[in-house]
Structure 1
Amino acid sequence: MNGVTWDQGIATVTEVPLQGMITLRGSLTDPKVKKAATGAAGVDMPGQGQANCVEDRGICWMSPDEVLVLCPYGSVSTNLEKMQTILGAVHSLVVDVSDARAVFDLAGSHAREVLAKLVPVDLARDQFTSGMFRRTRMAQVPAAFWLHDSDRLRIVCFRSQAQYVYDLLKTASASGSDIDCF
């Protein structure tokens, strides 16, 4: 979608440039699995239901045996090799999913409200706080998101569904659609 931005409503929707994303599956308590993830992302391992992200690097907890490792797009191959070397014979799976996913920023003082129209998650400021991460459905498609900073959510979806998600976000953030619930 070439970094498309829509800012004609109550929130701004922007496709994030290509983001490096590596799925790592294995025992998240294994020291080698932790080292592989943190070494590639340059951040500490998050807890259950959490994301630890700084700019284009981070780790998102996906399930009890899976994390999504974020890194610059151009460093994915190097990070995959480094992770595989660290993991050695540890029962695990490391896969580049960068080109299979799209990422959007939803920003502005109404960003929570916009997303709340589309997902079954309580996004009140005292309920969805910095560091929290959710995998859920956004209307008809799977998506994951976290609070990237105070008024900006980062959303990941399948690239094949990017146009649909972008259109959902635009519709939910249309001018005059604010409901001031947060």
Structure 2
Amino acid sequence: MSNAVSALQGKVAPGEVTIREAGLRGMIILRGDLADKKLHNICKSLTGVSMPKQGQAHTDADKGLCWMSPDEVLVLVPYAHVTEASAAIEAGLAGTHYLAENVSDARSVLHVEGRFGREVIAKLAPVDVHPSSFQPGDFRRSRLGQVAAAFWMRDADTIDVICFRSVAGYTFDLLAASAKAGQVGHLNAAG
């Protein structure tokens, strides 16, 4: 049996804004009735966070829930617990119409860390990331350059990005180039 490795094996591009691969992350796409109490309960028991509203992510360290669409959440758990979490979803939602799929090995997570991280994203995504529109806990599905991506603000200086594993190198390099180009200055918190 082979050992699992992340797409970029911990690659880091240091700077005023550091781009860092998060390593292996447990991710389960869960589709169903997001108003269902059973679904809420199993999600809360696995992650310790409440169900997010549209356009939100509730995360705590390596656990969390990200709103993906009106009938879909992304369940984040430690990579070592994803099989156990998938089994818990199956048991907890038995008799309910749902779909759960472990996508851990098909996705990569990158951290954008630094005081002008939102500008790094703004240069690449057709999304309003001004502080008046994008705050910690906010989640967006969009693209970075020409690749599909989702991202959320973990805190005022950290944005987490999810992309397909097959484009993790490209996405990393794109974010690193945007960070290296420096601050534009249009998205300051007072602005």
Indicate whether 1:89 and 2:78 are aligned. no
- Separation in 2 of the partners of 1:80 and 1:36? 10
- Backbone CA RMSD of aligned residues: 1.0
Aligned to 2:86: 80
TM-score (norm 1): 0.96
Partner of residue 67 from structure 1, selected from 69, 73, 80: 73
Return 5+ residue gaps in structure 1 as ranges. Answer: none
Q: Sequence identity of aligned pairs in percent?
A: 44
Match of 2:160 among 151, 154, 167: 154
Q: Does residue 188 of structure 2 align to residue 180 of structure 1?
A: no
Match of 1:166 in 2: 172
| Alignment match, 1:137 | 143
Letter in 1 for 2:59: C
Counterpart contact for 1:24–1:37, Cα < 8 Å: no
The one-character-per-residue Cα deviations of 1:146-165 (angstroms, maximum 9, x if unpaired) are 00111000000000010010
Secondary structure of the 2:127 match is: coil
Q: What SS does the corresponding residue of 2:66 show, helix, strand or coil?
A: strand
Which whole-Å CA distance do the structure 2 matches of 1:174 and 1:48 have between them?
32
Once the two structures are TM-superposed, the CA of residue 33 in structure 1 deviates from its matched residue by 1.4
- How many corresponding residue pairs? 180
Question: What whole-Å deviation, never above 9, does each CA across 1:105-151 have from its counterpart, x for those lacking one?
Answer: 00101101111000011111121012110000111110000001110
**After TM superposition, which residue ranges in structure 1, 4 or more long, deviate above 3 angstroms?**
none
Structure 1 residue 36, shift from structure 2 partner: 2.0
Q: Distance in 2 between matches of 1:140 and 1:58?
A: 27
Give the Cα separation in 2 of the matches to 1:32 and 1:4: 39
- Residue pair 1:133, 1:145 contacting (<8 A) in 2 also: yes
Q: Distance in 2 between matches of 1:45 and 1:178?
A: 34
Distance 1:4 1:67 in 2: 27
Which residue in 1 is equivalent to 2:11? 4
Query: Take 2:155 and 2:148, find their aligned partners in 1: how far apart are those partners?
Result: 22
Which whole-Å deviations, capped at 9, do the CAs of 1:59-112 have from their partners, x for residues lacking one?
000000000000111011111111110100100001110010000000101101
> Secondary structure of 1:173's partner?
helix
Gaps of 5+ in 2: 1-7
Paired amino acid for 1:36: I
Within the candidate set 82, 86, 108, 2:114 is matched to 108
**Counterpart-to-counterpart distance in 1, 2:136 and 2:114:** 15
Mapped to 1, the partners of 2:165 and 2:95 lie a distance apart of: 32
